[in-house]
Structure formats: structure tokens, C-alpha cells
Structure 1
Amino acid sequence: MSKLKILISRTDAIGDVVLTMPICDILKKHASVSELHFLGRSYTEDVIHCNSAIDQFLDIDKISKLDYEDQIALLKKEKYDVILHVFPNKKIAQLAKDADIPLRIGTTNRWFHWVTCNKLVRLSRRSSDLHEAQLNIKLLSALNITDEFSLEELSAHFRMENINPLPGRLKGFLDKTKLNVIIHPQSNKSAREWGLDNFGELINLLPPEKYKIFISGTMADGNSMGDWLEKLPKHVVNLTGQMTLKEFISFIYYSNGLVAASTGPLHIAASIGNNALGLYPPMRPIFPQRWAPLGPKASYIVANDTCSNCKMKISGCNCMQSIAPVEVVKAISAWT
């Protein structure tokens, strides 16, 4: 039997893409798979290139700018045997069908998969108690891969091994005599946030003779936090807007760890084997049971009580506010 050339489609955010990485390693190690390509967004490309199990990245943002017939021709030229729709997207599902990819795998709970896919997996993410990475693995049953994986086992399948050397201008910031801790305060509205006041108190509780603190984020994050950043102690380094994603991944790798809410950088830190401390609310479906960071040095703190007032709020979440900075300090002090 000829081996399969597979296209994995996951065109959403960085954290979601990171938690799809174990699929790539599991597939690549399977006897029936020869080549693995990943269809993603432009801004997740640097994350995807870190995975040594992936043979090629396809940029959906660039592909979408082509005439539709050229999009079809591009996929046909690759001669894929399988497309796995990890993240459902109506246009991509139709494109895969029009490109005559022989096996098109989707889920039963998306109506458009019923008319664009020819292999459906019964999978409901919203009501499941499984972790996101475990839910992704369930899709492999369409390829007769039915192995069950614990979260600890999945941590060994990230294959985030292609880390670039750290540029000199960033390497000079790190202090080998201290623990270099990255604090990523904001989430681009993708997660419940702990709040700048809490992060400020955390920084004040970490003795500067032992810890060097870095604030990370986009340029927009830096602008929105401007007043707060100006009030931070002088030993804190503001790196917002100063790194590409590729550089940020390297900086995370060479630092001693990262603290954040349930964001992409948190999952990057965990997947490359660094200390990663996540701060979470307790309510489903955004609780750590579904979205905890996975890795040998990953951990999280979750609020004890669920409140309904903050169900739709990103910042000012009462659940998150109940996490005390001293709890976070205690967790960081255990890092090695």
C-alpha cells in the first residue's frame, strides 16, 4: 500500500496551533504516512516551522488571495491523499472537495462537513471533559489510529525542536546569574486576564537580586499598557513590540520561564520544554481541564470559585482576580 501525503488544516490562533502539534508527530511516526503538510495563518508560520515533524507549511492567507481556480490547482498539484480539518472552516472544506482530495476528514457537528467531507468523526468539543490536544487526537480515528494518550504522553509529542539562535541584541538582556522570567500580561482578548495590578504586585514580590523580569507583548500591547509600564521598577525590561514571533520563541526558549493567562506564548513555552505557569478561571469551556499548558515543566493556577458576573468579560474577571500574587510567587520559586 502506498504511503499517505496528509494536509492538516488549523487556521486559527497560536495556542490552538501549538496544541495541534502532537497530531503531527503521531501521524509522522505512523507506518502509513510519508509526508505531512500544515495549512495555517501567516502569523502562526514561525510556530509551525518549529515542529520537526512537519515537512511543509501552506499559508492560507496567501492562498486566499489567489483566484479560486488557482487555489484548486495549487492543492491538486500537491496530490494530497488526505486533508484533516482540525479547525472547521467552510471555505477550506469546499476548496478541499473541489481540489478532489480523496479523503476529507471532518466532524459531524459542522453541517458543511456533511456536504464537503467523506469521512466524519463524531466529536463535540464544547461538552467534552478532554483536553484540547486529546480532542484533536480523536480525529485520527478516521485513519484507524485509535490510541489513547494521557496528557503526560502527549507532552512528548510536540517535536518543537527547530529553535533559532537568539540574536545578540536580545541575548544581552538575559542574566545568567538570575532567573529570567517573562511576564506576558495581555491576551489579545483571547483569554480571561489576571490584570495589570496583580502582575505589578507579582513583580514587586519577586526580589530583583534573584529574578530578572521581562514584559512581553505586541506593540499594541505596549501602547495599551504604557502608563503601567512606566511605573514598573527599573530592573524590569519592557520588550513589547521589539521581537518578531520567531525571535520571541527563541527568547522564551533561552529564558527560565513564562507567566501568562491561557495564551499562545504560554503554550509555546510549555511545548518547548520550558517553565510555563498559566493562570486560569474555573468555568468550562475555558478551564484548565480543556486548555492547560502541556509540557514537562508546565503548571497552572486556577481560581477556586466560579462566578457568573465575568462570564463574558475578558478583563476584570472576578475569578481571575481571586488568584493571589503570593500564590504565583510560590509557583515561580519552585522553577528549576
Structure 2
Amino acid sequence: MPNIISIRLSLSLKQLSTIVISQTGTLLEVFFTLPLVYVMRQHKENQCKIVFVANEQARPLVQACEWIDFFLSKEMVLADPTLLQQYKAQIFISANNDVSVAKLAKKVQIPVRVGDRNYWRNWFNANKLVNISVLKGKLVRHQMQRIVALAKVFKTNVYFSAEMLNGITGLSKISLPSPEIANKIDPQKFNLVLQLSNPIANLQWPLAKFESLCKCLDNKAFNVIIIAEKQYELSQFPSYIHNLTGRLDLADTMTLLAAADGIVATNTIELQIVSALQKKALGLYNNAYPYTPTNQKPAGNKASVLVEKKHCTKCQNGATCQCLQTLSEQKVLAIIQKWPQSLHNKFNTPISSNTP
């Protein structure tokens, strides 16, 4: 566990046996909540346990985090409130203002219930309200920062900058890939994942530009693996690419990402996972809130983003994002064609005479 954040809690964690964190939003929102789990577990010697409530689809992501002890699906909790009650939690943190789960936390009498004071419904269920939009007089911009700011209720004395939170996700429990996926990995090349789809349909980079990009890549340096939630035929793509579109669930996708060397994608959970694993990641972003790099940039130190500078609002109303439509494959290629060199450097690093 990285020791990069100093935090003091006014409530002694020695008195806190169990903390429930509820994040029932999108997979991206679940990912952005993982640093909050780290903050609440920092004093590990005090043996506090973390129960994470999320939608069932997030189970593989939550269970891959080393700092989470128990996963509860929202569906199961609402169907059987005793599941939440049995943990006898002392703290409940609502990370995405889900009223249905917050009401249940109040009903089962969890003593400390934390929520964002700017969401008026939290005033009925939370007894510790936090302004997560401001830290030390500064506006909080990244979504990860805002969620972590919920820890202010415990008198944290540190401003959690986006840089401090980079990569603090604890995704150390991703399984090894199946033989089918492992066979797609080439140890002699840079294993590049291209993700064609985005859960938000109008925020996708054009398929034709992915095709053009593939045709420009050196297949002696790159092993290209293409993924997407739905299946694509890709008959116009180069024959040497691996088409895994529509074939992987989230758990399988995570094993592939952990084995790969880099990714090009729009703002997706896959982009964030690769970035958090400290691999090469290039995010293709638009300039419409809340999907801007400022608000949701990749978490890792080896990540970069491409975005058109013009302000975009049309896609907020469901129209196709022109920022992404006009983003050229040449700009993408200029960045990623240098990536294989990082593997070359790694494989050719001289061994120190002091190495045991």
C-alpha cells in the first residue's frame, strides 16, 4: 500500500470496526471511489473493515481492490436489508447520493452517515454533511477529488490533489488471463488494446479512424487487440489484429488489460484501469462537462490525453460529439508510435553490479 498521503482522523479508527461505502453509479464512478477506500483504510493496524455497495456489474472491479473486504450488490441489499445490518457498521458513506441505499443505512441505524451537503435529499438521511466542492478554499475539479473529500468529516488535514490520488486504486487482485486471452498476448511486441466503444453512444471516436490508425501501425512493433462491448465485424481492418469485440465480460477484460502494455480509448473504465496499473494510456476526450479531462482524466502517471481545445456543448444534448469526430488519427499515431520504445528500454536496461 503506498504511503503517500498523511491523514489524521478525529474519530479513532480503533473504535470503528466496519465502514460501508455506497457507490451505485457507473463503473467509472466506482473506480473514482477507490481512493476513498484507501483513505479510510490507511490506519490498517486498527483492523477496520470495508463493505462496498455497488451495482452487480461492478463486482469484478470492486473485488479486484485489495482494500475492500466485502462486496454487496445494491440489488441484493434492497431485496434483503438484513444483509447490510449483519455487518453492524459504525460508518456509512454515500459516495453518489443513492437515496434508496442511504434510507436503508438510516433504517438499520448505522450511527454515522456521511453525505454531500449540496444534494438536498442527503439532509433527510445523513447526519454528517460535507461540502465536497471546496477544499482549503479551492474548487475541487476532478471527480476523484470530490469523492475523497467526503473524508473531511473525519477532520482530514490534507488537500487531496489529483496528482496525489494518481494510481491509488488498489487493483492488485486482478486474475491471470484465461488461455484464450493469454494466447493473444505477444511478449515480443507492444500489446496495444484499442477500445472501439463508449457506454455513452455519442461520445465515440469514429470506427473509420480506428481502422486508419491500425493500418498506420507497424505490425512488427505492435500486437493490436481490439475490444468493444458489442461485436464488430472489422473486415476492413488489417488481418493481423485480434478481434475480441463482444466476447469479453468485465472480469475477462480486466485480465486482458493487466496483461497488455497500453490502451487507446475514449473516457471509459478500461482506460482508467490501464492507467491506474501504470501502463501507457491515451484518452480521447471531449470538452463537454462532466466528461472533460479536468473532471475525469486518467489516474496514472503514464497516461496522456488528446482533446480538441474548442468548447463543446452539442453532445450534452445527445448529439454526436464533434470534438471526437474531428480528432485526427495522425495525432493519436504521433503519440503511440513511440510506445514500443518503452518496452525496448525495459528489456535492455543494464543490470547493476550491485544486483543480488
TM-score w.r.t. structure 2 length?
Answer: 0.85
Aligned to 1:172: 183
Q: Deviations over 1:35-84 (max 9, x none)?
A: 111111111110111111111111112223x2xxx41x222221100010
Structure 1: which 4+ aligned runs deviate by more than 3 Å? Answer: 30-33, 307-311
Match 1:256 to one of 258, 261, 280 = 261
Q: Which amino acid aligns with 2:15?
A: K
Match of 2:132 among 116, 119, 123: 123
* Cross-structure match for 2:212: 201
Query: Is 1:78 equivalent to 2:87 in the alignment?
Result: yes
Residues 190 and 30 of structure 1, relative CA distance in 2, 3 Å threshold: farther
**1:26: Cα distance to partner?**
1.6
- Name stretches of at least 5 consecutive residues in structure 2 with no aligned partner: 1-11, 343-356
How many angstroms apart in 2 are the aligned matches of 1:100 and 1:119?
14
Cα distance change on mapping 1:83 and 1:255 into 2, 3 Å:
same
- Number of the residue aligned with 1:41: 55
The Cα shift of 1:124 comes to 4.3
Alignment of 1:145-224 (within 5 A): 145-189=156-200, 192-218=203-229, 221-222=230-231
CA RMSD for the aligned pairs?
Answer: 2.0
Give the SS at the match of 1:142: helix
Question: Whole-Å Cα distance in 2 between the matches of residues 45 and 155 of structure 1?
Answer: 22
Q: 1:32-111 alignment to 2 at 5 Å?
A: 34-64=48-78, 66=79, 70-71=80-81, 73-111=82-120
Q: Distance in 1 between matches of 2:20 and 2:165?
A: 21
Alpha-carbon distance in 1 for matches of 2:287, 2:204 = 13
Question: In 2, Cα distance between the equivalents of 1:292 and 1:191?
Answer: 19
Residue of structure 2 in register with 1:239 after alignment: 244
Higher relative contact order (CA 8 A, sep 6+): 1
DSSP 3-state at the match of 1:157: coil
Structure 2 distance, partners of 1:27, 1:297, is 26
CA positional deviation for 1:244: 2.7
Q: 1:169 to 1:45 in 2, by over 3 A?
A: same
Which residue of structure 1 aligns with residue 349 of structure 2?
none
Letter in 2 for 1:234: S
- Partner SS for 2:316: coil
SS in 2 for 1:260: strand
Query: 3-state SS of the aligned residue for 1:106?
Result: strand
Once the two structures are superposed, residues 221-273 of structure 1 have per-residue CA deviations (whole angstroms, 9 ceiling, x without a partner) of 21xx44xx122111111102222322211110111111111111111111222
1:330 aligns with 2:334: yes
Q: How far apart are 1:201 and its partner, in Å?
A: 1.4
Equivalent residue runs for 1:313-328 within 5 Å: 313=318, 316-328=320-332
> Contact conserved, 1:180 with 1:257, CA < 8 A, in 2?
yes
> What corresponds to 1:3 in structure 2?
15
Structure 1 CA distance for aligned equivalents of residues 204 and 167 of structure 2: 29
The corresponding residue for 2:33 is 20
Match of 2:292 among 284, 287, 294: 287
Count the aligned residue pairs: 323
Q: CA 1:245–1:327 in structure 2 vs 1: closer, same or farther (change >3 Å)?
A: same
Q: Is the 8 A contact 1:26 1:157 kept in 2?
A: no
TM-score (normalised: structure 1): 0.90
- Which runs of no fewer than 5 residues in structure 1 stay unpaired? none
Deviation for aligned residue 1:322: 2.4
Contact 2:202 2:321 in 1 (8 A): no
Pairwise CA distance, 1:191: 6.8
Distance 1:100 1:3, change over 3 A: same
Shift of residue 129, structure 1, vs aligned partner: 5.0
Q: Equivalents in 1 of 2:191, 2:22: separation in Å?
A: 35
